[in-house]
């Protein structure tokens, strides 16, 4: 039997995070499913809630390219200066105000068996207690024949950057159930994420894996089963069940981005400096980002995704009244009000980034339909319903964009 919405809400706020103001989950409609509503006045700029994900995982290519993050909470592990040196390709790059870097290397710990790194003893213990006992490869960490390594390599061979999902998020779901004393509780929690029809699931898998997705999906399912089979969730390992699990992660996974350099820049912005010193520092930072763009492009952050139960209840709007961010430089998601929200009003976030929200109704609908399989009926879309499509002009502008450039769940500000 599925958990009630109140059960889910209690779990999210009581265990996975905490609400700063009163909110509640309600059923909206068969088309939209659940929604999150304010039960008291929420002021602009107020933190509505902070949530910890049920599971999170760094993207595999991101980790392979030496974006060093805590294996549990995704906190960036590099010092800001080290981060700048790697991203610019300049080993001698020096940052002013090094005291503003918040990375504490003295607190870092690794797993004594497989050597994966954590930002703290707390994260190492949390991972061990929830899923890492199952997933720890021990001394076989670099063995290409280890079942988990075969699974990860297969995933990297079919899902290239820019990444939007990770097979290891699914692996951590299974491992969590394997290690749990109360397996049914975790199965109920995972079952709360939105479900799609078989045809919709195929569309999501196709988007993630490309034209040959059916053969690739079967290969991944076989490797996934060899590495992780668990009787309590045996349905996840059937062809239909694995496709559903895949679609669940593809639809509900919230992008997470962390960066020690970004944290350092925010701290620099907060410094009280003389006008000349401020101008100098701002010019230095502007040039630093130009150097990074020239050497690395747009891939600045440690990136991954997580499953957030309460956040997943927030529906989309092209004129959102709330936004998500990761200001603590880890996987803790903050939802903040962009305007005053009245009691009884639905709390909506945007699945599109700022630039996408400024595009035509036709283009917004195209992105949302392809990636989330729904047609938006927010106030902005309804107001623009009679406007002519700018399809041809915008599709010309889109030429040359990466294939996955339109995927939502942006890596929100860190």
**Cβ(60)–Cβ(152) under 8 Å?**
yes
**Cβ(341)–Cβ(38) under 8 Å?**
yes
Closest C-alpha to 408, from 226, 251, 186: 251
Residue 25, φ and ψ in degrees, nearest 5: -90, 130
Convert the chain into a string of H (helix), E (strand) and C (coil): CCCCHHHHHHHHHHHHEEECCCEEEEEEECCCEEEEEECCCECCCCEEEEECCCEEEECHHHHHCCCCECCCCCCECCCHHHHHHHHHCCCCCCCCCHHHCCCCHHHCEECCCCCCEECCHHHHHHHHHHHHHHHCCHHHCCCCCCHHHHHHHHHHCCCCCCCCCCHHHHHHHHHHHHHCCCHHHHHHHHCCCCCCCHHHHHHHHHHHHCCCHHHHHHHHHHHHHHHHCCHHHHHHHCHHHHHHHHHHHHHHCEEEEECHHHHHHHHHHCCCCCHHHHHHHHHHHHHHHHHHHHHHCCCCCEEEEEECCCHHHCEECCCCCEEEECCCCCCCEEEEECCCECCCCEEEECCCCHHHHCCCHHHHHHHHHHHHCCCCCCHHHHHCCCCCCCHHHHHHHHCCCCCCCCCCCCCCCC
Give yes or no: residues 165 and 179 share one domain: yes
261 in any annotated domain: no
Give yes or no: residues 179 and 62 share one domain: yes
Residue 111, φ and ψ in degrees, nearest 5: -70, 125
- The reported pLDDT for the residue numbered 11 is 37
Give yes or no: residues 70 and 142 share one domain: yes
- The reported pLDDT for the residue numbered 387 is 75
370 in any annotated domain: no
- The reported pLDDT for the residue numbered 389 is 64
Q: Which residues of the chain have pLDDT under 50?
A: 1-16, 392-394, 396, 398-413
- The reported pLDDT for the residue numbered 212 is 75
Sign of CA dihedral 115, 116, 119, 120: negative
Give yes or no: residues 67 and 201 share one domain: yes
Last residue of a domain, one of 209, 225, 255: 255
- The reported pLDDT for the residue numbered 21 is 64
183 in any annotated domain: yes
- The reported pLDDT for the residue numbered 400 is 47
Number of compact structural domains in the chain:
2
147 in any annotated domain: yes
Last residue of a domain, one of 239, 255, 271: 255
Give yes or no: residues 49 and 116 share one domain: no
77 in any annotated domain: yes
**Cβ(333)–Cβ(326) under 8 Å?**
yes
Compute the residue count for the chain.
414
Distances from the Cα of 342 to the Cα of 212, 252, 360, 403, angstroms: 48, 27, 29, 39
Give yes or no: residues 41 and 70 share one domain: no
Q: What angle do CA 224, 241, 186 make, to 5 degrees?
A: 80
Last residue of a domain, one of 325, 354, 383: 354
- The reported pLDDT for the residue numbered 199 is 76
Which range marks the domain in which residue 202 is found? 57-255
Distance CA 32, CA 145 (A): 44
Model pTM score: 0.87
Closest C-alpha to 346, from 319, 306, 386: 319
Give yes or no: residues 122 and 217 share one domain: yes
Give yes or no: residues 233 and 324 share one domain: no
Distance CA 374, CA 381 (A): 13
Give yes or no: residues 226 and 107 share one domain: yes
- The reported pLDDT for the residue numbered 44 is 96
Strand order from edge to edge, sheet including 346-349: 23-29, 33-38, 346-349, 315-316
Give yes or no: residues 224 and 343 share one domain: no
Give yes or no: residues 325 and 186 share one domain: no
Distances from the Cα of 213 to the Cα of 102, 279, 308, 324, 403, angstroms: 42, 52, 26, 31, 16
Burial class (CB in 10 A: 0-12, 13-18, 19+), 289: middle
- The reported pLDDT for the residue numbered 4 is 44
365 in any annotated domain: no
Give yes or no: residues 247 and 184 share one domain: yes
The CATH number covering residue 45 comes to 2.170.270.10
270 in any annotated domain: no
235 in any annotated domain: yes
Distance CA 410, CA 303 (A): 10
Residue 152, φ and ψ in degrees, nearest 5: -65, -40
The neighbour count for residue 162, using CB atoms within 10 Å, is 16
């Amino acid at each position: 039997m599925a958990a009630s919405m109140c059960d889910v809400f209690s779990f999210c706020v009581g265990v996975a995070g905490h609400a700063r103001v009163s909110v509640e989950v309600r059923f909206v409609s068969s088309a939209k499913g659940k929604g999150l509503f304010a039960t008291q006045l929420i002021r602009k700029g107020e933190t509505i809630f902070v949530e910890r994900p049920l599971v999170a995982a760094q993207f595999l290519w991101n980790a392979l390219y030496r974006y060093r993050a805590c294996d549990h909470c995704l906190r960036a592990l590099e010092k800001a200066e080290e981060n700048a040196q790697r991203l610019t390709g300049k080993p001698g790059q020096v940052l002013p105000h090094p005291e503003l870097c918040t990375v504490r290397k003295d607190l870092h710990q690794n797993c004594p068996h497989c050597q994966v790194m954590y930002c703290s003893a707390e994260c190492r213990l949390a991972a061990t207690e929830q899923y890492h006992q199952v997933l720890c490869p021990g001394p076989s960490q670099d063995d290409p024949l280890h079942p988990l390594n075969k699974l990860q390599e297969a995933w990297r061979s079919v899902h290239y950057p820019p990444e939007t999902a990770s097979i290891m998020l699914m692996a951590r779901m299974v491992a969590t159930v394997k290690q749990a004393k109360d397996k049914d509780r975790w199965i109920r929690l995972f079952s709360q994420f939105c479900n799609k029809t078989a045809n919709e699931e195929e569309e999501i898998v196709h988007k993630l894996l490309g034209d040959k997705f059916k053969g690739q999906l079967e290969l991944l399912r076989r490797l996934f089963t060899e590495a992780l089979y668990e009787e309590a969730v045996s349905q996840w390992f059937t062809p239909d069940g694995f496709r559903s699990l895949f679609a669940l992660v593809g639809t509900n996974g919230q992008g997470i981005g962390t960066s020690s350099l970004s944290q350092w820049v925010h701290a620099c912005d907060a410094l009280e400096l003389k006008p000349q010193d401020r101008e100098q520092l701002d010019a230095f930072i502007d040039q630093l980002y130009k150097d990074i763009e020239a050497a690395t492009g747009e891939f600045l952050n440690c990136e991954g995704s997580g499953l957030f139960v309460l956040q997943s209840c927030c529906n989309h709007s092209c004129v959102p009244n709330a936004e998500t961010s990761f200001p603590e430089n880890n996987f803790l998601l903050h939802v903040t009000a962009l305007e005053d929200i009245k009691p009884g009003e639905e709390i909506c976030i945007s699945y599109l980034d700022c630039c996408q929200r400024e595009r035509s109704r036709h283009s917004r609908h195209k992105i949302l339909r392809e990636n989330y399989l729904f047609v938006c009926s927010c106030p902005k879309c309804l107001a623009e319903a009679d406007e002519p499509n700018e399809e041809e002009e915008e599709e010309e502008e889109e030429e040359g964009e990466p294939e996955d450039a339109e995927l939502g769940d942006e890596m929100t500000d860190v």
